[in-house]
């Protein structure tokens, strides 16, 4: 019996030396320390021993059991500590690519334009996209039968025929005149709506930046100076300018501003339709009726106003030649800008 105990003891020692993992330790436990394990089997066999041998053998067996149990506990603790101290994050894994978004080209263009006008001393104001006829048309000196008031051009709100989606940012001029007093120097960026057939050149929803300067003795020369300075900072130094007479109900005189096509240098290309010129803004001196609508005395004050289409500028700067590209939100397009 003593012999057999020695054999098991030897086995236990050999096993212990090889244990390196939780699994191996578990195997050891199952082999020696469970109810039907090798140590318990030896205890069971003590029944066969003569009475007087039992105490001595029992003592040896108990010692063996204690040894096996204490070694088991030690190794268990060691392995658990090792597992806990190993970092759970695998630092050798390649990092995940973080996709960071960026501003939409329309917003980028708008910000660039706003920044330039801010440098020139303009403040920024905003107005509602759902407007009333007074701000969108009446106060801006549109006659009652003006075609722009037609359902074909304007989205009216079904439940209230006096309300509409603003067709331009000009109504914000009226709101600014109402809430402040001259000198007034504001730009007013925002979204506008028109009932237009959608094509590569036009959408029913787009963006404009409006400008307004009202003070004593404001002249057309200042309007020209402002537009020229803005264009140089936005499109480049070597530009030529053309103010063409035009008509808007809310300005008199009115003009449209052309700059030399900066894509072909004025030689003529597809973008400028072989004219060498790009039309970039409508502008003019604020009509006295508009000033009167908001109780500003046209004898004491004059002003100029202008309006720029943001999509048009963004198309020129990005080379995107289909306006719909801005709204499809195809990442292959947007990621380029």
d(CA 165, CA 320): 27
Q: In this structure, are residues 278 and 264 in contact, taking their beta carbons and an 8 Å threshold?
A: no
261 CB-contact burial (10 Å; exposed 0-12 / middle 13-18 / buried 19+):
buried
Q: Does 171 bind ligand DAH (CB under 6 A)?
A: no
Q: Does 141 bind ligand DAH (CB under 6 A)?
A: no
Q: Does 283 bind ligand DAH (CB under 6 A)?
A: yes
CB of 247: closest distance to ligand DAH in angstroms? 10
The pattern of x and - marking residues 215 through 254 that bind ligand DAH according to CB under 6 A reads ---------------------------------x--x---
Q: Which is nearer to ligand DAH, 28 or 250 (CB)?
A: 250
Residues 298-327 contacting ligand DAH, CB under 6 A: 305-307
Around Cβ 19, how many Cβ atoms within 10 Å? 19
d(CA 147, CA 189): 25
Q: Does 282 bind ligand DAH (CB under 6 A)?
A: yes
The pattern of x and - marking residues 17 through 46 that bind ligand DAH according to CB under 6 A reads ------------------------------
d(CA 170, CA 209): 9
CB of 97: closest distance to ligand DAH in angstroms? 43
Task: For 93, list phi and psi in degrees, rounded to 5.
Answer: -65, 140
- Point out which span in 4-12, 68-76, 88-96, 278-286 binds ligand DAH (CB under 6 A): 278-286
Q: Which is nearer to ligand DAH, 203 or 305 (CB)?
A: 305
Structure tokens at 108: 């980028």
Around Cβ 130, how many Cβ atoms within 10 Å? 12
By DSSP bridging, strand 184-193 and strand 205-215 are: antiparallel
Three-class SS of residue 300? coil
CB of 103: closest distance to ligand DAH in angstroms? 24
181-201: b or e for each residue (b if 16 or more CB lie within 10 Å)? ebebbbbbbbebbbeeeeeee
The pattern of x and - marking residues 190 through 219 that bind ligand DAH according to CB under 6 A reads --------------------x---------
d(CA 329, CA 316): 19
Q: Which is nearer to ligand DAH, 167 or 260 (CB)?
A: 167
- Point out which span in 46-54, 156-164, 179-187, 279-287 binds ligand DAH (CB under 6 A): 279-287
Contact positions vs ligand DAH (CB under 6 A): 168, 170, 210, 248, 251, 282-284, 305-307
């Amino acid at each position: 019996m003593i012999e057999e105990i020695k054999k098991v003891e030897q086995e236990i020692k050999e096993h212990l030396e090889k244990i390196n993992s939780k699994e191996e330790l578990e195997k050891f436990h199952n082999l020696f320390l469970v109810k039907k394990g090798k140590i318990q089997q030896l205890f069971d066999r003590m029944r066969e021993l003569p009475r007087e041998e039992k105490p001595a053998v029992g003592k040896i067996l108990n010692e063996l059991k204690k040894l096996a149990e204490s070694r088991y506990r030690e190794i268990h603790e060691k392995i658990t500590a090792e597992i806990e101290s190993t970092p759970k994050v695998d630092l050798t894994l390649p990092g995940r690519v973080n996709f960071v978004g960026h501003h939409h080209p329309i917003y980028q263009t708008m910000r660039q334009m706003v920044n330039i006008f801010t440098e020139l001393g303009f403040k920024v104001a905003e107005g509602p996209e759902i407007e009333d006829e007074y701000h969108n048309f009446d106060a801006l000196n549109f006659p009652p039968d003006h075609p722009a008031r037609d359902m074909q051009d304007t989205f009216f709100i079904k439940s209230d025929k006096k309300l509409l989606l603003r067709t331009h940012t000009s109504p914000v001029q009226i709101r600014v005149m109402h809430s402040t007093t001259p000198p007034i120097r504001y730009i007013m960026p925002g979204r506008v709506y028109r009932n237009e057939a959608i094509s590569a050149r036009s959408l029913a929803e787009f963006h404009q930046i409006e400008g307004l300067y009202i003070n004593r003795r404001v002249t057309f020369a200042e309007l020209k100076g402002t537009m020229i300075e803005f264009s140089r900072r936005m499109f480049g130094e070597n530009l030529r300018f053309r103010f063409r007479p035009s008509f808007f109900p809310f300005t008199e005189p009115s003009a449209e501003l052309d700059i030399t096509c900066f894509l072909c240098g004025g030689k003529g290309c597809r973008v400028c339709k072989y004219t060498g010129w790009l039309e970039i803004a409508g502008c003019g001196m604020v009509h006295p009726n508009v000033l009167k609508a908001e109780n500003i005395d046209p004898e004491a004050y004059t002003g100029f106003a202008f309006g720029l289409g943001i999509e048009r500028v963004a198309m020129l700067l990005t080379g995107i030649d289909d306006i719909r590209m801005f709204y499809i939100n195809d990442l292959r397009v947007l990621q380029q800008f």
